[in-house]
Amino acid sequence: MVLSKSQLFLFLTVTSVILSLAVTMPTPVLSQVNETASTPQINFWQGAFLGFVQGATEFLPISSTAHLKVVPVIMGWGDPGITFTAVIQLGSIVAVVSYFWVFLLEVITGARKALSCSDYQDNNLRIVIGIIIGNLPIVFFGLLVKYFFSQFYNSNLRSMAVIATTSIFMSLLMGLAEKIGEQKRNLCELSINDGILVGLAQALALIPGSSRSGLTLTGGLLIGLTRETAARFSFLLGIPAITLAGLVELKDLLTTGIGNMGITTVLAGVISSAIFSYLAIDWLLRFLQTTSIWVFVWYRLVFGLVLLGMIGMQ
């Protein structure tokens, strides 16, 4: 069973409302650890380790943002902040572009030829259009938040309680997608509507802990894509969005200075992120060829419950 376009749009809208309500919930002391105005003190090896966390989780449907928030806090390093988190994501972009380099060249070349021949049904052109349209929602809302709601990520939105709640909710959403998705369609069958719907799902990733890859993979499964195809589209869809977010934060970092981190710390995070992102992409695509996403569903559920338990013990 595959949801109709209108049903999926309604489903995404309801999802957005539920996730947004989590932002306003009361939170314990631990959950109120947010990014401060000062630059966090992160040394070289901590930066490299956080790059590993970023790379290992960016393309898995388990939320890199959640892990980059939770892991350093648990280890006593404090929240590295949204800026550092966004900048080291550039390493993940290097990885995904490198991994799909040949495919990207073929698609771009094919799309250009199709445009010159006015062949608007060409598969390559459909993929390019799907990626472009799919990024419009997150780019629009991301820039809106960045420049008009500057305290968006300094609020309880980045609290442990919100991340835990979102992780649990996402586990249920991913389980539903795995259960009802027909998983028959491939990348060449993408339509403009598919790009819009998966793009709307991706826009929900602005809420920390929801997982961009988890939302796009879930959206892909709900519109009938195979697991591997949904993952590939998720990777490709992330290139413009993650690149823009990383470059915007990098510009701010260079403008305001990198403070106590040091350029070598930032580079260590980016390089480490690139290496482990590449390995994660290769592993996930092989994994999804033969296995369901239930392991990630259970992981996210347990992760959220454990985190709530830690908060309750404070």
Q: Is residue 198 part of a domain?
A: yes
Answer whether residue 18 shows pLDDT above 50: no
pLDDT of residue 311: 87
| Domain that includes residue 118, residue range | 42-312
Over range 200-216, report the average pLDDT: 91
Give the chain's length.
314
Tell me how far apart the alpha carbons of residues 200 and 139 are, in angstroms, rounded to a whole number: 11
When comparing pLDDT for 249 and 281, which is higher? Answer: 281
137 alpha carbon, distance to own chain's centre: 14
Answer whether residue 144 shows pLDDT above 60: yes
Q: Is residue 105 part of a domain?
A: yes
Q: Which of 145, 141, 227 is nearest to 183 (CA)?
A: 227
Q: Is residue 49 part of a domain?
A: yes
DSSP string, 232-283: HHHHHHHHHHHHHHHHHHHHHHHHH--TTS-HHHHHHHHHHHHHHHHHHHHH
- HSE at residue 138, side-chain half, CA atoms within 13 A, is 32
Contacts (Cβ under 8 Å, ≥6 apart) of 94: 270, 274, 277
Tell me how far apart the alpha carbons of residues 283 and 292 are, in angstroms, rounded to a whole number: 14
Q: Is residue 13 part of a domain?
A: no
Q: Is residue 23 part of a domain?
A: no
Choice among 50-64, 71-85, 211-225 with the minimum mean pLDDT:
71-85
Could you give the C-alpha distances from 168 to 2, 57, 119, 164, 194, in angstroms and in order?
23, 17, 44, 6, 26
pLDDT of residue 310: 87
Answer whether residue 170 shows pLDDT above 90: yes
The 10s digit of each residue's pLDDT in 213-222 is 999 999 999 9
Choice among 66-75, 82-91, 94-103, 118-127 with the minimum mean pLDDT:
82-91
Over range 98-112, report the average pLDDT: 94
CB atoms within 10 A of CB 6: 8
When comparing pLDDT for 55 and 5, which is higher? Answer: 55
Q: Number of folded domains in the chain?
A: 1
CB 57 within 8 A of CB 278: no
Q: Is residue 15 part of a domain?
A: no
Tell me how far apart the alpha carbons of residues 186 and 226 are, in angstroms, rounded to a whole number: 6
Phi, psi values for residue 120, rounded to 5°? -80, 0
Token pair belonging to 97? 């572009």
The 10s digit of each residue's pLDDT in 275-311 is 999 999 999 999 999 999 999 999 999 999 999 998 8
Q: Is residue 30 part of a domain?
A: no
Contacts (Cβ under 8 Å, ≥6 apart) of 5: 193, 197
The pLDDT mean for the chain works out to: 83
Termini Cα distance of the chain:
44
Residue type (1 letter), 26: P
- Listed ranges 142-146, 181-185, 280-284; the one with the highest mean pLDDT: 280-284
pLDDT band at 108 (very low <50, low <70, confident <90, very high): very high
When comparing pLDDT for 245 and 26, which is higher? Answer: 245
Q: Is residue 303 part of a domain?
A: yes
Over range 69-94, report the average pLDDT: 84
Over range 99-107, report the average pLDDT: 95
pLDDT band at 37 (very low <50, low <70, confident <90, very high): very low
pLDDT of residue 141: 86
Tell me how far apart the alpha carbons of residues 207 and 18 are, in angstroms, rounded to a whole number: 11
